[in-house]
Chains A and B, each alone.
Chain A
Amino acid sequence: MTAPKPRTIQVTVNGETITASVPDRKLLCDFLREDLSLTGTHVGCEHGVCGACTVLVEGRPARSCLMLAVQADGRAITTIEGVSGPDGSLHPVQRAFHEQHALQCGFCTPGFIISTIAYLEERDPSAGPVSEDEVREHLSGTLCRCTGYTNIVRAVCQAAAELSES
């Protein structure tokens, strides 16, 4: 077995352009967590089911455990660390999770917040207010073992209402 050769990639993470050398086989989640110390992206399964590792790649949600870092070459990535305002103010989705007690251990939370942001941003604003059923349909691909989802659904509805006003 020979040691895998590193390759040079350039990625924009949370607005900052980074050049790094990574082995071909390194997962994007490991690259973010280990090489960039962005440990807010969590790994819950490494096989694409739990959604804890979700980040935005070019604005679209992606499971960073199913992507290699080299596949992100030339792309823009947003992680949970890039979600709040520059002054530290919380994004409406972050605030809604807090206010609705939509997190307990907080391990699934970054994945949920990123997925929620993507869902609400992609959603057609003319579709009217978000319903609980619609939220359940869109976010059922992310797992939480603590909350039973009741308060996550509420938080997403709150954030949706707030974002549609602004």
Chain B
Amino acid sequence: MSKAEESADVAASVAEQPFIGQRLPRKEDRRFVIGKGRFTDDISVPGMLHAAFVRSPHAHARIRSIDTEAALKLPGVVAVITGRELAEFTSPFVCQQEGAAPMEMDALPVDKARFAGDPVACVVAVDRYVAEDGVDLVEVDWDALPPVLDMHHASDPGVPLVDEKIPSNLHTRETHRYGDIDGAFARADRVVKAEFRSQRLTHVPIETRSVVATWDEGREELTYYGAAQTAHILRTTLADRLGLSENQVRVVSPDVGGGFGLKLPLFREEFTVAAMAMRLKRPIKWVEDRLENLTASNHARDDAVSVEVAVLNDGTVLGVRANLWADFGAYAFYPPSYIINVIGWLLLGAYKIDNYEYTVNVAITNKCPAGTLRAPMAIVTWASDGMMHRVAEELGLDPFELRRKNMLSLDDQPYQSAPGYPYEALTLREGFDETLAKFDIDAFRREQADAAEKGRLIGVGIASVVEPTTYGSAWYKASGDDGSGHEAATVKLEPTGAINVTAGIVGTGQGYETSLAQVVADALGSSPANVDVRLGDTYIAPYGMGSRGSRGAAAGHGVAYLAAMDLREKVLGIGAHLLQRPAESLKIVNDEVVTRSDVGVSVPVREIARIAYNDPTSLPDGMLPGLEAHRTYDPPFMTFSNATHLCQVEVDAETGGVTIVKYRVHEDAGTLINPMIVDGQVHGGVSMGIGQVLLEETRYDEQGMNVSATLADYLMPTMDTVPMIEVEHLETPNPNTPQGIKGMAEGPVQGAVASVALAVQDAVARSGGRLEQLPFTPSRLLGVLRASRSG
């Protein structure tokens, strides 16, 4: 069978499934709309204490001493602990990166604070009000050091080391080369340069970080309630660093008020709370306040891409040379090169380019540590599409024609990108054509020229998104980073016929309780109403790799589907025995095993379940009792989805304000489990991308103080800045994943960053403006317009 036929085959089998593909309203909604969700801060345990943290007021300062006496005297304060004391009974986190110095992070810093907001002591008290009073009474004797704040000069002579255990503040510098890059540049008619720089951002889930840790003295067991996108990995780390066995730790991730990649690692505050719960043998809660969240959780996106593109005069792109920089902040929660490397291997985007070289540079600075914010590689599509526009501009060619000429289509696939990534079933050129078929670009250009006559600036941007969704364990092996991409699920048909499902993925708002029920219901011929999904509790869920990237659909739902199919086989085996028919002639429909041909011959699944549990001697010879299936699944090396985004804007030449007039997405995430949920993911991702281009920015002053520490200073997209987002789907199944599922969730951020940035650039291009640094705030836009007017 050809790949295309295989895809068609998958599509046909998916069409038979009653629930996969349905816009089913979510099962979990009810508890949220009536105010009965159960988030971490809603958990309260008898005898519970509350923690608050003493934080560094300096960007970089040695801790001479910490005086806790006054705090300890305050009525209601139970304990105060410093990094030095914690280090006596906890182990540091060691972040390994192949070919680079490992970076260590203590529970709390012992000798030195490395950024403004760095936690250095923890006060535990009867309530949070008293704990915060206690924080004010802790006296730290600081010896301030010069802060390292500029990534490009972090390793200049005389600059102090941020992490004194590594040889340089320039933690990573490595070059990757593919094809004949020198030859490409030698043959080029010209070399076009472009820059794309992002500001520092942060996640801002509306629910901040929070934890409740309890120590069961009888069982000698720690229970950790807290948002954990990767609950099992967190359990392993907790046990390891607390000197516990992994079966002495239970992680429970209750309802989570948004994760966006923030609620992944074991943070120091949460770890300290767990360690203190053990030490004091008392439950402890910590809920971060918004100031802490904006200044001291994780930041992201502080990166820059500069490219040189070797081209022929006809618009053929021969090769690309890129230099990538990232400011990783003060500590390594992740291997420092990991995120910027994704930009590296993805930078060629939708285009067929054979010769490529990229260098990554990662600096450690006195800023809040970097983490993985939804689409860590967010600027990559802006860079790959943006560089093609620069090429077109310099060659005097039509940018959309030039992009189309170099763009991958289905006919080119399977295709291997220069850095070795497999592209399959991606509708890049097809989506681009579809978008342009619905948007009359020539008419728009006329409108734009007319508008310009009247002093109005309008522009359009189109982004071609390649989104890596699901990393297989082979990817981890090849990248040199420790880890796996497999996932696990357990499906149980209980004696009454009710179905329970669990898996290693952990929801933070994606509607898994509905979409997992849909795939399992289809596999078992049941209905989503009959399927209950429990995630995030390591007592219940099998060890999986959790929710990060966009792996939930292909890995998490893929494995649940496969487990349910294993169980289906057993159900049909029992049905065959009872009905005296071959199993191949049977199917399950509406919770009954029926024959494909004879009407009236059937047995309810409930009866099969009863026999499996309560009358096992009636099972076929040799079959074991019970109805449960557990399995794991390791997805391919890398799965991609793709999308085309179109954004139309108007820039107010007087105020510099940007209005988004139209926003349309053609998404191709392969087989969709619940298109309503996918639409919601597109809306949310686009909104975040709009925030990155127009509004959000984490700012530090020259002393390294965070000056965007409230939601009045850190501007998130509001209802009046985000337009209605139109979404259409192409559904090209991936031939290598269960049911052809590809997944998505980060691509919409990439697409919005690119399409909004390109649209604004298009709007100011006539006046000679060039935009290379996000965000495009009114003052920056006015500056650019003014400069181009006077220049």
Name A's B-contacting residues (CB within 8 A). Answer: 1, 3-4, 23, 25-26, 33-34, 37-47, 49-50, 52, 79-81, 83-84, 90, 94-95, 97-99, 101, 103-110, 113, 132, 135-137, 139-153
Contacts and interface: CB of A to CB of B under 8 A. Distances in A.
A46 B206 contact: no
Contacts of A4: 129
A104 B511 contact: yes
Contacts of A150: 683, 722, 724-725
A160 to B, nearest CB: 15
10 contacts: A1-B137, A26-B129, A34-B44, A44-B257, A80-B35, A81-B34, A94-B34, A105-B205, A140-B718, A148-B687
A153 B719 contact: yes
Contact of A101 (B34, B133, B680, B719): B680
Given A1-B137, A50-B290, A145-B204, 12 more contacts: A52-B206, A101-B680, A103-B29, A107-B205, A140-B719, A141-B718, A145-B258, A145-B260, A146-B258, A148-B683, A148-B725, A151-B679
A103 B44 CA distance: 25
Contacts of A40: 34-37
Nearest to B29: A98
A47 B567 CA distance: 51
Contacts of A97: 29, 33
Interface string B711-747: 1100011111010110000000000000000000000
Nearest to A132: B724
A104 B133 CA distance: 36
B33 A113 contact: yes
A110 B48 CA distance: 26
Given A23-B129, A140-B718, A107 B207 contact: yes
Given A47-B290, A101-B679, A145-B206, A38 B35 contact: yes
Given A105-B205, A106-B509, A145-B206, A98 B719 contact: no
B41 A147 contact: no
Nearest to A156: B719
A136 B719 contact: yes
A147 to B, nearest CB: 6
Interface string B285-304: 00101100000000000000
A52 B100 CA distance: 43
Name B's interface SS.
Answer: loop
Name A's interface SS.
Answer: loop
Contacts of B602: none
A47 B710 contact: yes
Contacts of A136: 719-720
B446 interface: no
A37 B42 CA distance: 8
A25 B687 CA distance: 37
Contacts of B719: 135-136, 139-140, 142, 149, 152-153
B508 interface: yes
B137 to A, nearest CB: 8
B576 to A, nearest CB: 41
Given A94-B34, A106-B257, A145-B684, A39 B25 contact: no
B39 A147 contact: no
Contacts of A108: 206, 257
Nearest to B204: A145
Contacts of A106: 28-29, 31-33, 37, 255, 257, 509
A141 B34 CA distance: 21
A109 B42 CA distance: 15
Interface string B677-691: 101101111111000
Interface string B573-589: 00000000000000000
Interface of B: 25-26, 28-39, 41-42, 44, 74-76, 129, 133, 137, 203-208, 255-258, 260, 287, 289-290, 508-511, 676-677, 679-680, 682-688, 710-712, 716-720, 722, 724-725
B712 A42 contact: no
A146 B204 CA distance: 10
B229 to A, nearest CB: 12
Nearest to B43: A39
Contacts of A148: 680, 682-688, 717, 722, 725
Contacts of B258: 104-105, 107, 145-146
A3 B682 CA distance: 50
Contacts of A38: 35
A81 B42 CA distance: 14
B683 A147 contact: yes
Contacts of B76: 3
Contacts of A81: 34-36
A119 B257 CA distance: 24
A106 B676 CA distance: 16
Contact of B129 (A25, A46, A137, A144): A25
A45 B206 CA distance: 8
> Among the interface residues B32, B39, B720, which one has the most CB atoms of the partner chain A within 10 A?
B32
Nearest to A97: B33
A104 B35 contact: no
Nearest to B683: A148
- Please provide the 10 A-B residue pairs with the shortest distance between their CB atoms, ordered closest to farther: A40-B35, A107-B257, A106-B32, A105-B509, A148-B687, A148-B683, A80-B35, A104-B509, A39-B42, A49-B711
A94 B717 CA distance: 23
Contact of B710 (A49, A98, A103, A104): A49
Given A90-B34, A98-B29, A109-B32, A44 B683 contact: no
A154 to B, nearest CB: 9
A80 to B, nearest CB: 3
Given A39-B35, A79-B35, A105 B256 contact: yes
A81 B38 CA distance: 13
Contacts of A110: 32, 35
B205 A90 contact: no
B75 A146 contact: no
> Among the interface residues B25, B37, B712, B717, which one has the most CB atoms of the partner chain A within 10 A?
B37
Nearest to B37: A106
Given A139-B719, A147-B680, A105 B724 contact: no
A145 B716 contact: yes
B290 A46 contact: yes
Nearest to A133: B720
Contacts of A1: 74, 133, 137
B712 A43 contact: no
> Among the interface residues A49, A97, A141, which one has the most CB atoms of the partner chain B within 10 A?
A49
Given A42-B207, A143-B206, A147-B680, A137 B257 contact: no
A101 B509 contact: no
A163 to B, nearest CB: 16
A79 B203 CA distance: 28
Contact of B33 (A43, A52, A94, A139): A94
Nearest to A99: B25
B758 to A, nearest CB: 19
B711 A104 contact: no
A147 B719 CA distance: 10
B749 to A, nearest CB: 11
A65 B51 CA distance: 20
A88 to B, nearest CB: 8
Nearest to B676: A101
A94 B683 CA distance: 20
A18 B511 CA distance: 37
Contacts of B35: 38-41, 79-81, 83, 110
Contacts of B25: 98-99, 101
A145 to B, nearest CB: 5
Contacts of A152: 719
A105 B508 contact: yes
Contacts of A146: 206, 258, 509, 680, 684
